Amino acid sequence: MATILEKTVMPGSEPGKPADLQDNNPYAIVSGLLKEAVAGLGLDENVYRLLEKPIRTLEVAVPVRMDDGQIVNFTGYRAQHFDILGPTKGGIRFHPDVNLDEVKALSMWMTLKSAILGLPFGGAKGGVIVDPGQLSERELEELSRTYIRALMPIIGPEKDIPAPDVNTNPQIMGWMLDEYDKFRGFNAPGFITGKPLIVGGSRGRVEATGRGVVMTIVEAAKRLGLELNGATAAIQGFGNVGSMTARFLHEQGVKIVAITDARGGIYARDGLDIPALLEYARSHKLVSTYEGYESISNEAFFSMPVDILIPAALENQITGQTAPLIKARIVAEAANGPTTPAGDKILAQKGIFVIPDILCNSGGVTVSYFEWVQNTMGYYWKEREVNEKLQEKMECAFHDVYEMMKEKQTDMRKAAYLAGVGHLAEALQARGWVKGWSMPIERKV
């Protein structure tokens, strides 16, 4: 198998491109891991052929009339990866670095997350190439509405269900819902998740990804014999996921000694004041400008002698360059795709316990699923009920991946891919595409 892997040109990789750039292409990364998982489960390579590319991708023009009267024509994408388990599902990001390969990779990760968690969804992801910080509120609203209009033919509560992702939030989901309903001619709250409560959002959705991250850290700590009360952590990123992770880790008694954001980082040996930083970030959107703490560089951040390191920003942060600096016992991937294959190899050599992204940050899509279920029923749960259901799902998914790791004597990332691909293979078998195959472990999800 290894020889075949080496000779195969992965989708997304360009033969002429230097190896380190190819190494950082998320589409090539996820494709390589999928191929390995298909082989690791003894499945036919045909299964890889079904999974290697999204079933549908769309590129759209998103023209916006700016406040000064000029029209700027932004570019947007939506990739829908695989829909054998249900409608496709995944967030929308607004970021200057969005590109088609990234969106495709993110859609594939969404398929795997849903599969690992046993949700009746496939994966999707969308994005617009834009720096939303440069837009006025009116421009941002117009961008959000125009983008959703452009996706109208391919989205809907039974087709493809968007949600928030990097730089998008409940307000933006509310605008998108309004635009969708305007065109459909009726109220269809299950078309989008992560929306404000008043228009059908779920209690606990805003907190869900961070809450889920911390639930997986608790599970990992139990198995590693790490006492969380008094343990130390460092978090890269203080957006929705980073800040909520900080909040719930703080509640567990974890001392968060370092946080970085897009502009810089802050450090305090005895732990940062998390409630004060959460309050500050609400109005300032950043924490690196908070006064009174030592500032730290990105390099110093990765070198922190902490128990838990949490990348909660963008892709390709733990690389061949930064992984050698890491001293943590646990790396909890709150972001999607934060580790490159070169970085991953180093983490494995160092014996660091990685909670892979497709398990670690899957609390968001899980509560999105609960939101969609509530919209379908028209009956809404209390926050306690949402959180209990999330807890059960995260524990079961962690159990499955951990058992798969032991069964296959591999690492947690490969085990997560094995669990996810195995789940998809069961569905393929039920539909007649795969024969004579059975899951190597008994799963709980």
Instruction: Judge whether 125 counts as a catalytic residue.
Output: yes
Which residue, 28 or 365, is less far from ligand GLU as judged by CB? 365
Inter-axis angle of helices 240-251 and 205-224, nearest 10: 50
The reply to whether 236 sits near ligand GLU by the rule CB under 6 A is: no
CA-nearest of 367, 316, 313, 336 to 103 is: 336
Which residue, 86 or 324, is less far from ligand GLU as judged by CB? 86
Residues 81-120 that bind ligand GLU (CB under 6 A): 89-91
Give the nearest distance from C-beta 331 to ligand GLU in angstroms: 18
Which residue, 193 or 316, is less far from ligand GLU as judged by CB? 193
Piece in contact with ligand GLU (CB under 6 A), picked from 307-315, 362-370, 391-399, 437-445: 362-370
Give the nearest distance from C-beta 104 to ligand GLU in angstroms: 14
Query: Which of 35, 89, 113, 125 is labelled catalytic?
Result: 125
Determine the longest span between alpha carbons in the chain, in angstroms.
Answer: 63
Which residue, 24 or 168, is less far from ligand GLU as judged by CB? 168
CA atoms of 116 and 201, how far apart (whole Å)? 24
Helix (H) or strand (E) holding 184: helix 170-184
Which residue, 208 or 266, is less far from ligand GLU as judged by CB? 208
Piece in contact with ligand GLU (CB under 6 A), picked from 33-41, 78-86, 280-288, 359-367: 359-367
Site for ligand GLU (CB under 6 A): which residue of 144, 368, 387, 410? 368
CA atoms of 271 and 121, how far apart (whole Å)? 40
The reply to whether 365 sits near ligand GLU by the rule CB under 6 A is: yes
Piece in contact with ligand GLU (CB under 6 A), picked from 28-36, 74-82, 360-368, 435-443: 360-368
The reply to whether 261 sits near ligand GLU by the rule CB under 6 A is: no
Nearest residue to ligand GLU, using CB? 91
**φ and ψ of 72, to 5 deg:** -110, 130
Q: For residue 372, what are the contacts with CB-CB under 8 A and spacing of at least 6?
A: 89, 157, 161, 190, 193
Site for ligand GLU (CB under 6 A): which residue of 32, 189, 237, 364? 364
The reply to whether 40 sits near ligand GLU by the rule CB under 6 A is: no
Instruction: Name the token pair of 14.
Output: 């360009």
Give the nearest distance from C-beta 258 to ligand GLU in angstroms: 24
DSSP E strands in 12-155: the ranges are 56-65, 71-82, 88-89, 92-95, 122-129
Residue with tokens 């032991």: 406
Which residue, 205 or 329, is less far from ligand GLU as judged by CB? 205
CA-nearest of 316, 349, 320 to 333 is: 316
CA atoms of 219 and 393, how far apart (whole Å)? 12
Beta bridge partners of 354: 331
Piece in contact with ligand GLU (CB under 6 A), picked from 267-275, 364-372, 375-383, 394-402: 364-372
Site for ligand GLU (CB under 6 A): which residue of 52, 142, 165, 400? 165
∠ CA(209), CA(212), CA(215), 5° rounding?
Answer: 155
Helix (H) or strand (E) holding 355: strand 353-355
Q: For residue 277, what are the contacts with CB-CB under 8 A and spacing of at least 6?
A: 238, 243, 246, 259, 287, 290
Q: Active-site residues: which are they? A: 125
* List of residues contacting ligand GLU (CB under 6 A): 89-91, 163, 165, 193-194, 336, 361, 364-365, 368
